[in-house]
């Protein structure tokens, strides 16, 4: 019998307790040990809970109990999760977390502490909810060089974009609907501004390339500026707008990493990932493209990924899993201004014919797009591949020529 503790009894935490108690036999057969939840840490009271005898408000109960071998951290946020996790690892307890913010910001340090104490620090649930991705990437793709990872990593924004694309629902209405359905929080900033997707692509990038990629070095743009007009132009172009997290290894050893809305061709496997679903593409030199698809959030999917990690910890109490990356710096990341891609631009001008001539002088390989119902002074186009800084200069140049750039969205090479 292995004793564990669960820190945080919110959506995911209560899901973890539910999955462990409802699948106890199959879990015991897989883990080769029975798993018992000895403590549940939460500052709130849960009167009448069937787990009343397990609740504690004092972290010291857990850290001081040598019987507890595995601790599940599902509180979220950095404080106090970071201190608690660190102390658990330092005192020889393995830790399983679903906390993407913690892993994205403190992963290298915590992995190093885990290594030094010969315990495991696992975080399958931090990316893709119930979709297995951390483990397949670190194990099954061991015989591959990962060329690129790209995907839809945030279900909330994907739900909003799906409503905008399929039902021409304006952004604000779609966000409100997502909040009413419980897909978006009352403060939706971390989702709609791309921070959540950024944390996840940072975790995948760190795992794939062995160096910690910190979110603050990653170009991150959300979907708040996407309009229905852009959605219509994307359709005219032959695709859809999706919020994509993407990372590639460059020949210079740096990673080209970004989180931003992109035009995705309709034929791409990623273009068909809709609603709250996530889809993650891993391009290996041997496997080619492998795509993982499923619900990226939610109580039970996330909880089941946490519990799979707990089982793995129990099976490997004396042997560490291979899951490690070293610390990284800003120098590991290619400056965004140096990266190369093509863009879609929507603009307005008094004389669009004249404006289009000017545009052709500033951007590479300009191709015009049209849509039904466009105002007379609006026009839109796509470009060929250009350096990001050259795109910015071109935007500035046409601005000085009386052209008003209304939106600019990267075109994916997926």
User: Which spans of this chain sit near a second copy (rule: CB under 8 A)?
Assistant: 15, 19-20, 23, 26-27, 30-32, 124, 130-132, 135-136, 139-145, 269, 272, 284-295, 298, 300-301, 303-305, 307-308, 311-312, 315, 319, 322
112 vs 385, beta carbon nearer a second copy: 112
Question: Contact at 8 Å (CB) between 370 and 382?
Answer: no
What does the alpha-carbon distance between residue 303 and residue 379 come to, in Å, rounded to a whole number? 48
- Closest residue by Cα to residue 366 from 403, 337, 400, 338: 403
CB 106 → a second copy: shortest distance, Å? 23
If you ran DSSP here, which 8-state letter would residue 211 be given?
B
Look up residue 303 and give its two tokens: 């909880």
Marked catalytic residue, from 200, 242, 248, 321: 200
- Report in angstroms how near the CB of residue 123 gets to a second copy at its nearest: 13
Strand 277-284 versus strand 288-295 pairing type: antiparallel
In the complex, minimum distance from the CB of residue 330 to a second copy, in angstroms, rounded to a whole number: 25
Instruction: Clarify whether 57 is annotated catalytic.
Output: no
Residue 237 CA to residue 232 CA, distance in Å, equals 9
CB of 182 to a second copy, least distance (A): 15
Q: Which is nearer to a second copy, 117 or 269 (CB)?
A: 269
Q: Where are the alpha helices (DSSP H) in 92-251?
A: 100-116, 134-138, 155-167, 171-180, 189-192, 195-209, 228-237
CA-wise closest residue to 40 among 25, 50, 26, 30: 50
Residue 303 CB, nearest approach to a second copy (Å): 7
Residue with tokens 């979110």: 215
Q: How far apart are CA 11 and CA 4, in angstroms?
A: 18
Considering the complex, state which of residue 26 and residue 329 has its C-beta at the smaller distance from a second copy: 26
Q: CA-to-CA distance for 71 and 402, rounded, in angstroms?
A: 60
For the purposes of burial, counting CB atoms within 10 Å of the CB of 55, is it exposed (0-12), middle (13-18) or buried (19 or more)?
middle
Residue 37 CA to residue 17 CA, distance in Å, equals: 8
Q: Report how far apart the first and last C-alpha atoms of the chain are (Å, whole number).
A: 48
Beta-strand runs (E) in 34-111: 35-41, 55-56, 68-73, 94-97
Residue 282 Cβ vs a second copy, minimum distance, rounded to whole Å: 9
Q: Which is nearer to a second copy, 192 or 311 (CB)?
A: 311
Measured from the CB atom, the residue of 1 and 319 that comes closer to a second copy is 319
Q: DSSP assignment of 301-364, as one string?
A: HHHHHHHHHHHHHHHTSSS--S---B---GGGB--GGG-EEEEEEEEE-SSHHHHHHHHHHHSS
- Smaller CB distance to a second copy: residue 22 or 389? 22
| Residue with Cβ nearer a second copy (3 or 269) | 269
- 402 preceded by cis ω (within 30°)? no
The distance of closest approach from Cβ of residue 36 to a second copy in the complex, given in angstroms and rounded to an integer, is 15
Between residues 95 and 386, which has the closer beta carbon with respect to a second copy? 95
Residue identified by tokens 């060929």 is 384
DSSP 8-state secondary structure symbol assigned to residue 47: T
Residues 60 and 148: their CA atoms lie apart, in Å, by: 43
Q: Could you list the active site residues?
A: 200
């Amino acid at each position: 019998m292995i004793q564990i503790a669960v820190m945080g009894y919110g959506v995911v935490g209560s899901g973890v307790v539910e999955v462990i108690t409802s699948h106890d036999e199959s879990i015991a057969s897989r883990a080769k040990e029975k798993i018992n939840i000895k403590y549940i840490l939460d500052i709130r009271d849960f009167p009448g809970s069937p787990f009343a005898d397990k609740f504690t408000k004092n972290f010291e109960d857990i850290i001081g109990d040598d019987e507890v071998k595995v601790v599940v951290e599902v509180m979220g946020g950095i404080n106090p999760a970071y201190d608690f996790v660190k102390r658990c690892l330092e005192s020889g307890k393995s830790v399983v977390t679903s906390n993407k913010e913690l892993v994205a910001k403190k992963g290298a340090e915590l992995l190093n502490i885990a290594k030094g104490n010969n315990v495991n620090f696992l975080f399958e649930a931090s990316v893709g909810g119930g979709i297995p991705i951390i483990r397949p990437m670190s194990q099954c793709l061991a015989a591959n060089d990962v060329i690129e990872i790209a995907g839809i990593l945030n279900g909330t924004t994907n739900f909003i974009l799906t409503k905008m694309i399929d039902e021409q629902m304006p952004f604000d209405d779609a966000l409100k609907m997502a909040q009413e359905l419980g897909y978006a929080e009352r403060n939706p900033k971390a989702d709609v501004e791309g921070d959540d997707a950024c944390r996840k692509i940072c975790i995948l990038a760190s795992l794939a390339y062995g160096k910690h990629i910190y979110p603050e070095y990653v170009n991150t743009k959300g979907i708040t500026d996407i309009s229905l007009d852009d959605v219509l132009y994307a359709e005219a172009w032959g695709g859809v707008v999706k919020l994509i997290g993407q990372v590639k290894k460059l020949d210079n050893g740096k990673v080209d990493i970004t989180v931003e809305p992109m035009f995705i061709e309709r034929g791409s496997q990623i273009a068909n990932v809709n609603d709250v679903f996530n889809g993650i593409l891993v391009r290996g030199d041997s496997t080619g493209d492998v795509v993982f698809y499923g619900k990226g959030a939610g109580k039970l999917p996330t909880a089941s990924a946490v519990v799979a990690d707990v089982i793995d910890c129990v099976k490997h109490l004396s042997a560490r899993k291979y899951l490690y990356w070293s610390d990284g710096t800003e120098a590991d990341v290619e400056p965004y201004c140096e990266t190369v891609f093509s863009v879609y631009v929507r603009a307005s001008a008094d004389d669009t014919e004249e404006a289009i001539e000017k545009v052709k002088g500033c951007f590479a390989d300009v191709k015009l797009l049209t849509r039904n119902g466009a105002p007379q002074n609006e026009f839109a186009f796509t470009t060929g591949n250009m350096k990001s800084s050259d795109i910015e200069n071109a935007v500035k140049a046409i601005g000085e020529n009386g052209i008003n750039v209304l939106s600019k969205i990267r075109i994916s090479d997926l």
